[in-house]
Chains A and B, each alone.
Chain A
Amino acid sequence: MKGHTVQFQSKPRIVATGTIAGPKECAGVVGKFVDKALSDDTFGEDTYEKAECKMLTYAVRKAIENGGYTEEDIDLLVSGDLLNQIISASFTARDFDFPFLGVYSACATMAESMAVAAALVDGGYIRKAVAATGSHFSSAERQYRYPLELGNTRPPQAQWTVTGAGAALLVDGRDELAEKSPVSITGATFGRVVDYGITDVNNMGAAMAPFMGIIEP
């Protein structure tokens, strides 16, 4: 460990991914690269929370399938989301037979789940792990901001929570299957919590990814 960064000896490989995104996300270039582009943001479910959970389940299942594995091969799922008690990730894990580690880091949940999964894979404790996360614009609006039908205005700088889910399947770099992928996780830097007093719910980017370069105290 150097500073806040850990270097992984075996360089865990990302051998497969599973991705899904909502209609607004797929309207741009992202649409061409996801496994499934949704045209209906409820994904056929009756609530947005259920849709979020279904998207996450889809992403995890797709990553395993894309890697050419079965669910019995997977040793661990590391996942989280934006809702209370990381409920979408927990309900997703309910559908699978492998163990689950829940993580929460708001927008950095995917990075955290990959870092945790990579550390366990690199340590040799786990052979194959899936790191995943998902979110839904409509469920996040209710969790952090106002009801969707409330007639308030969004300032132009307001950010938009992604409707989508992604999963990455990690294997040990020494594994014979590792050859299948050129992408490896060589290290991870764990972040500190810094609070610069941003309280604007419409500008969470400024709170979560502060840029320190220019500000003089």
Chain B
Amino acid sequence: MTGKDNENFNKNYIDYVHSFDPPTKHFKNCLRAFLVGGLICTVGQFLRVMFERLLGLSGDELSGAVSIALIFLGTLLTGFGVYDRIGKHAGAGSIVPITGFANSVCSPAMEFKTEGYVYGMAAKMFIVAGPIIVFGVLSGTIVGLLYLLL
């Protein structure tokens, strides 16, 4: 079996396998993601207001401080083993915000610590977040160049 036949066969098999998958509960998942994602954003907004009132920050300094605080919280919760439990229920709600990015850097760092601090933790820290950084920087550069030229 080669070429087209093989392709169709594989496609049929994959469809057959998928027919056994329990249906995804879209509404429930969306609701959970909305609530948890919204909660994280509310925490961010709360920090923003507090930093503005108490520390007198504004503009870029203010957004920077809020991001740093959220990244710290995401990393801390990952370290305590809480973030993956939130993520299990929240799905995209806890992956999309900046705390999810912090989790994706922190979790491999914790996992690969057993292979040593240099070859393990430091080298493998970006196995999940690496592609996001690479394509983020790449697209940022392209947009920046276009912005400069146009």
Contact = CB atoms under 8 A, between A and B. Distances in A.
Contacts of A149: 78, 81, 83-84, 103, 106-107, 110-111
A197 B88 contact: no
Contact of A151 (B9, B17, B87, B112): B87
Contact of A142 (B1, B89, B94, B111): B111
Nearest to A195: B10
Q: Which of B5, B13, B81 has the most CB of A within 10 A?
A: B13
Nearest to B94: A151
Nearest to A211: B16
B1 A217 contact: yes
A210 B100 contact: no
Nearest to B32: A153
A151 B88 contact: yes
Contacts of B88: 151, 153-154
A150 interface: yes
B78 A197 contact: no
Interface string A134-164: 0000000010001111111111110000000
Q: Which of A46, A153, A155 has the most CB of B within 10 A?
A: A153
Contacts of A153: 87-89, 91
Contacts of B83: 149, 151
A64 B6 CA distance: 47
Contact of B16 (A148, A203, A215): A215
B13 A210 contact: yes
B128 A151 contact: no
A217 B4 CA distance: 10
B17 A217 contact: no
B10 to A, nearest CB: 4
B113 to A, nearest CB: 9
B96 to A, nearest CB: 11
Contacts of B103: 149-151
13 contacts: A46-B114, A150-B104, A150-B108, A151-B88, A151-B94, A153-B91, A156-B21, A157-B21, A196-B13, A197-B13, A214-B16, A217-B1, A217-B5
List 10 A-B pairs, minimum CB-CB distance, nearest first.
A151-B87, A197-B10, A149-B107, A147-B111, A147-B107, A150-B107, A196-B13, A217-B9, A47-B114, A206-B17
